[in-house]
Every structure is written in C-alpha cells, then in structure tokens.
Structure 1
C-alpha cells in the first residue's frame, strides 16, 4: 500500500480517478510537499517504483520486442503496436523516478489506457494531464519567475529532462499496478539556467468566476512571453497581453489600452502621466505618419527591427521590469477577485478616474 505523502495524494482519488505522476525538470525540491490542493511534488528518487508495481514501461517493452525479434523481422499490430511506439523512447524506470515528480488524481478511462486504439490516443491522454498541471505551473512562473531572467524558469510538466520525450505514469489502487507511457509532445524546451526552487511553494486555487477564467488565460499568455525565444518576441507578446488585459472582450487600440491600464495601476496622477509617456515609447508616438517615430513596437512590427538593436541590455532590463508591472498588477487583480465578473474591473478603473483627477 502507498504511504506518506504519496498515500495522501492517492487518498484524494475518487472512485473514477487514478493516480498520475508526471516528471518536471529545472526545479529544486528539498522535500516532498504539497504544491497545490491536489498536486504534490517529490524530489528525484523520493518515490520507489516498487511501491507502484509498474508492469509496463518503454524500456521493458523494447527489451521484449528485441528478444522476440532476434535476428529476424517482427510484425506487430493492434495494441502491441500501440505500446511498441511508446517503447521507441526507451525510457527506463530509473530515468523516470530519477526526476522530480508531480503526483495528483486524474479522471481517466482505464480500459482505454490499456487498449488505446492508437499511440496518438496515449499521447492525447498524456497531453491532457500535462496541460492541466501547466495551469498550476503558470501561477508558479508568475509568482516565482521574472521577465528579465529566463534562467529561473521551470521546465515543461511531463518533459523528461535530457530527453526530447514526455512521459507519464498512471496507477490504479484497485489493481495495485501502474503503466508508464511516453512519446514526443513538446516541440521545444528551455536549456538556459538552473530553473526554479519549488521548496516551500504552495499555489492557492484561482476562484472560478469570470475574472478567474480570464486570469487563467492571461497567465498562459504570460508564460508564452516568459518562454519566448528572443527578447523581441517576448516584448511583442507582452504588448499583445496588455491589449488583452485592457479589454478581453473586444479589440482595443493601444492608445485606449494604455489609458485603461494606467488608471488601474497608477499610484497617483504623476505616475499615471509617466505611464502614458512610457507607452508612447513602448508602442507608437503620436505625430504625422511620414515622420520617423521612436516607438519600439512600431519599429519592430512596421520596420522589421529587433528590440536588441533598438536598445542596449540595461535598457531592456529596465523595460521588462516596467512591463512586469503593467501586466502583473492587472493579472493580480483578476486572480484576487476571480469570483467576480469583468464589470468589477470596469468599475475599478472608473473609480480611479476621480482619485487620479481624470474626471
């Protein structure tokens, strides 16, 4: 039987749920602990494969295939072929349990796991659980990482370190057996830096109202910006995120978005005016169309320039720190008031007009 924290996670499983384990790289975990209400995180080698009675995993299946094949050809079909495709990753149990692991209950069709119908069906099961956990990791990235130090970003949930493969283990307490599936899902991965220290980190759930749903999507956009492959891409994605935060329900021009964001985050009138002036630099300065403009997004989008060519390193560092505030405060408001609807943010901005002397 499972004991300790792993047993506590398994106890959360309802009748139609199983236990799932996914690897996560680029994280430091001192001790097994809760990461959220239903997800626990374990250091490498904290869980023994014997406790989960793993009966199927890629390296074992590949060894069986090679033994049966011998010096000749081996024809596979049906479920044997579907499982054989996972075996091509050759992931062994020490590889999997030697990674930091997330453990959590999942609702899954157990018979379909055993007889998937295709390798792609296995990958879809795995992808679904990865994406569910990524929502929690989006909050970790928002709270623990920053826009100017990509070296501190955690890896993608499910991606096994030092391999191009994703893997996941599914355990049935009723049968006391587990199965490990694997394959190619993630298209790219971070390799710079050591990642994130998850020791002592606990992520509270986002309320499930309209603002909570908007916050979840905004956090995904924020992660995309954090993981951008260049500072130019990160900047452009953050500017798009600002437009979303200004009005998630419709298209908003930057000249209107900067006013909306400014009213929401400004400390006083002087701060508001400084934010508006900064947006002229970040986006497009007003003036005749045929006149050169200093606005960064204008030069990047319309003139094909790079942020790295328009600014020096110290300027970009300061720029991303300002952008972290412009997107961070509105996202934090969405999370804090996640049980409310969008009208709450509209009212917040209208109230700020009087405080800032904009009425």
Structure 2
C-alpha cells in the first residue's frame, strides 16, 4: 500500500499523486476502497515522506515575515499575479499536523504542473481539488450505499477534502519527478455532517467499481442522489428524495406517473406475484391514497401538494424508520441490479423487467 509502489504505473505514465482528507471515520490500516483509490489512516504520512515543501499555514507565516506586517491587526498587504493566487490558499491557514492527522485518500491524476505552480487564478487550485474529490466521492457513494443507513446519520463519513476542524477543503499534490508536494486549500463545500462520529471503515470491503455502460452512468447518478438523501437534514427531505430516486431509476430519460414507477420498481423487488401486488398497494400509501371519507392520506401527496411534514403525518419515530427503511430496500435492490449490469445499455434493464413480468404472470 506504499503509494509510490501502488501507483508506480501511473507515476511512470507521468501522473501526479493527490491526497485528500476524509473526516468522520475510523481507519487503522491502509485500505483499497476500489481500484486506484487507497485510504491511509491518520499519521501514516510524515512531512518528509512525500516531501511537503508548502502548506497554507507555512505560506501565511512566510508572508507575514517577508512583508513585516501584522496581518492579525488588519494591516494591508498587496499581492498580485501568482503570489496573489497562492496567498488565497495561504489565507486558509490550514495546519500541516491537522492535515497529516486525518485519514488521507490517495489517487493519481493528470495535472499540468506548470499551471499548478503558476496559476492564473485561485480557481486552478480549487478545480483540481474538485476534480480529485469528485473521483473519490464516486467510491464513497458506493461505501455509503453498502455501509450506511437512511435512519442512522450518525455513521455517515465526512465529505472528501474537508478537514474535520474547519470550513475549508484542501489537497496535497505530489510531483514524483521533482519529489515535492504542495498542500493547497480553499472554500468549496457549503455544509458538512455534524451528528455522530462517522463510519468505522476498518471492515470496508474493496469494491470492483461500476462499469462504463449506459446503466453504469445511470447508476452513478442514482448513488449520488442516494448519498444526498442520506445526508438530508430532515426526514421529510429524506422521504421526498428517496421517492425521486425511485422515479429516476424507473426511467432516467422520461417522466413516468407514479402508477408506472411502482410497476417498474416492483419488477426488481418482488419475488412472487403476491409480493408484487402487496408492493403496489404499499406504494399507494407512500404516494396518493384516500380513506373511506375521501380524505387524502397518501404521504407524498400530503407532503408535496398540501405542504405537510412527514414527521407530522407519521408521529412515531419507529413507524417513520420502518417506512424509510422499506423505501431504502426498494432503492437498494434496484441499484444492485444496475450495478450487476453496469457495463450494459438500458435495453438490459428493460429485459430484466420484461422477464420478471413474465415470470410473475403479470
């Protein structure tokens, strides 16, 4: 798991290494999250290992020393050109010990090193952090899908690139040819999970990843949507977002009425005709259903069209948890079918549904 060994082929191809912090997790040994993405526990790296020559706090203090100014007293220093772009990163004052004391996730990527060293704007550094974090977030979406629960936000890991103790995202970029690393940072994310202590990643299994077919691309988007639902602040938001995921999985390219959505999803979930019919009836309660007095008791209609909250419609937490976990089950079974066929096109999903329809005698 030595990154210089693990990524040796990428390094030979001229790629650079990028390490980003990951908060809210427990990791004791290096772990391959999926091919090309490795997580290292806090303290695994030292400053000397990849020769970190620059980090925000150091550059901030150097600017104070160089210009002899008391920035803390709001004395003004004027920067321009490349110096200005690097000082925008330095202004975050990200501490090296905090960075190295975090779980760090490593990938290799193509970087124009001249542009990195002489950026024409701070966005050059921010976009590199975004590129790297987006690639790793795809792996984290799979981990959240397999190891987190819609009713237990306490175990959600942090967002890639964001330090636990501050509002800034950051990354270390290492050039093997020069044997030098630079840590840059800036403001990218708007929020973070604060409830609970995060995910125990010591038992996380290496995933093979998602294929590059049409189904795989749809699957990646569905997983991203599911991560957003897991991180939603209210149970009402979770409920609405989960139903939106089911709509998306039913037909990513067109809008289907809920009657058709439940049929498409039911053909992934049901094992018998009786179970399929039960799922169809349950969807009526989840969406639009009237009681004997013609009063609307369907959850989604009450939430979306009448403006009520899921928490008020279903007062008991255990009942809300049961509903959310069942919807999560519908999503999970369907996405697993997508993962298994992620190298194929949409016709494959259509065939799975048609075969199930025939098998169940629908």
What TM-score does the superposition give when structure 2 sets the normalisation length? Answer: 0.95
> Of the candidates 125, 135, 140, which is equivalent to residue 137 of structure 1?
140
Q: In the alignment, what sits opposite 1:248?
A: 252
**Cα deviation code 1:128-165 (max 9, x no counterpart):** 11111101100000011011111111110000111101
**Matched ranges for 1:85-104 at <5 A:** 85-104=88-107
Equivalent position to 2:325, from 318, 321, 325: 321
* Stretches of structure 2 lacking an aligned partner (at least 5 in a row): 70-74
Residue 82 of structure 1 deviates from its aligned partner by 0.5
3-state secondary structure, aligned to 1:121: helix
Helix, strand or coil for the counterpart of 2:17?
A: strand
SS at match of 1:262: helix
SS of the residue corresponding to residue 183 of structure 2 reads strand
Measure, in 1, the Cα distance between the counterparts of 2:249 and 2:59. Answer: 49
Distance in 2 separating the partners of 1:160 and 1:255? 44
Matched residue, 1:171:
174
Contact 1:138 1:223 in 2 (8 A): yes
Matches for 1:62-211 after TM superposition, within 5 Å: 62-71=60-69, 73-201=76-204, 202-211=206-215
Q: Aligned partners of 1:340 and 1:73: how far apart in 2?
A: 59
State the 1:286 CA deviation: 6.1
Q: Deviations over 1:5-45 (max 9, x none)?
A: 22223313243310110000011111112221111111101
Which residue of structure 2 lines up, in the alignment, with residue 5 of structure 1? 2
Q: Is the 8 A contact 2:290 2:298 kept in 1?
A: no
Q: CA deviation at 1:70?
A: 2.3
Q: Distance in 2 between matches of 1:149 and 1:267?
A: 28
1:297 to 292, 295, 300: 300
- SS across alignment from 2:88: helix
1:270 equivalent in alignment to 2:268:
no
Which sits farther off after the overlay, 298-307 or 349-358? Answer: 349-358
Which aligned runs of 4 or more in structure 1 are off by greater than 6 angstroms?
Answer: none
Give yes or no for contact 2:268–2:337 (8 Å, CA) kept in 1. Answer: no
Taking the aligned partners of 2:65 and 2:76, their CA distance within structure 1 comes to 11
User: Which one of the candidate residues 39, 52, 63 is aligned to 1:41?
Assistant: 39
Cα distance in 2, alignment partners of residues 199 and 234 from structure 1? 27
Find the partner of 1:343 among 330, 337, 347.
347
Would the aligned equivalents of 1:5 and 1:33 in 2 still touch at CA under 8 Å? no
Match of 1:25 among 23, 26, 34: 23
Using the alignment, how far apart are the partners of 2:60 and 2:134 within structure 1? 28
> Cα RMSD (Å) of the superposition?
1.6
| Structure 1: runs of 5 or more not aligned | none
Q: Distance in 1 between matches of 2:133 and 2:357?
A: 42
Under a length normalisation based on structure 1, what TM-score does the superposition of the two structures give? 0.95
Mapped to 2, the partners of 1:123 and 1:270 lie a distance apart of 53
- Given that 2:16 and 2:174 are in contact with CA atoms closer than 8 Å, whether structure 1 keeps it comes out as yes
| Structure 1 Cα separation of the partners of residues 334 and 256 of structure 2 | 16
